[in-house]
Structure 1
Amino acid sequence: MPGSPFGRSVLATLEEKGAPYRLAALAPGDSKSSTHLERHPFGRVPALSHDGFVLYETQAILRYLDRVLPEPPLTPDDVRQAARMDQVMNISDWYLFHGVCNVIIFQRIVGPQFFGTSTDEAAIARAMPQARTVIAELSRLLGEQPFMAGGQLSLADLQAGPQASFLSLTPEWAELTFGRPNLVAWIERLEARPSFTSTTMAELMVRAQAA
């Protein structure tokens, strides 16, 4: 699904690894088909199939890819940096997506553009306090580093980056990042990487249609 930041995390990781892969796009409604439910019983994306091994859940897929495709490494050797990577990945899942991106992005972009629904401003207002906390914490953890776990790209950036990048397309982003140029620069740094330019929503829509 081209708009899925979770799918983009996996695709960007594959691109960073320089690994050959085949994108299997889903048509609207296919996520609840019996075929897909065999891959992912919760009817979501992404799911990975590798040499007969099927895996779902983005964090599990990213860690698996970093183990079976060890170069370049995307997990820091330093135990504290690795712990920070783990922390940011969990922040992304539990606080950035749940309660923030799944509300604001849906209300601003997904609902109006793909389902023809109107924006629920009250829902966005309710999501903003958590959004402010999450963005402030990500900015604090990033500090003056180029990436979330230090000087090198890690799975933390590949997990949280697509979520934050999608959020940056909403008008709320300017308020959330006001006074936090490090977070804005982090997104710009990620979006300039070939792994991100090749996995934008527009690029994936073209690829999905050709698949």
Structure 2
Amino acid sequence: MSKLDTLQKQLETVLGNRAAGLVRKLDEVTLTVSAADYLQVAKLLHDDPSLAFEQMIDLCGVDYSAYRDGEYEGQRFCVVTHLLSIKHNWRLRLKVFCPDDDFPMVSSITGIWTVANWFEREAFDLYGIIFDGHDDLRRLLTDYGFIGHPFRKDFPVTGHVEMRYDPEQKRVVYQPVTIEPRELTPRVIREENYGGLH
């Protein structure tokens, strides 16, 4: 029995019907759970000695709105967490979809893996995903006055506002974006004139 077979069996035994989906592909295991079971499953993954995922490696948000060229019909926002068990030397990808596309929210796992703190703040900042129970959920990468969530597929490429220093007011001001779209024409290099050689 391979290591992935053992992991899959342990996940099925410990989680039972809490595992909404369990996929093995490219020598990786992806576990999908419902938002209602997310926190309880995370605790089991961490605390159960047969799984022992002591470390959270990464957590990020995903916006599926343009997935498969718009043919995807599932929930829009997902939180993807990568876990590592040093004891068993195996990894797991944990996925949970936010049940409400208009107000995406899942439980915070900072009480289980404290390292999730800034990762959840990043997902909140960039995707607008709320982590219920997070003690300090505020923007991490964008400015305090930033409007919107820039990694959402419907966020405009140029953004909504820009900031600049106004010498008359002697402070930073926000204003609507003034960038005019332009077409970039690639520079054509002809061999006979390249590098000043004739």
Give the shorter-chain TM-score range. Answer: under 0.3
- TM-score (normalizing by structure 2): 0.24
Q: Which has the higher helix share?
A: 1
Larger Rg computed on CA atoms:
2
- TM-score (normalizing by structure 1): 0.23
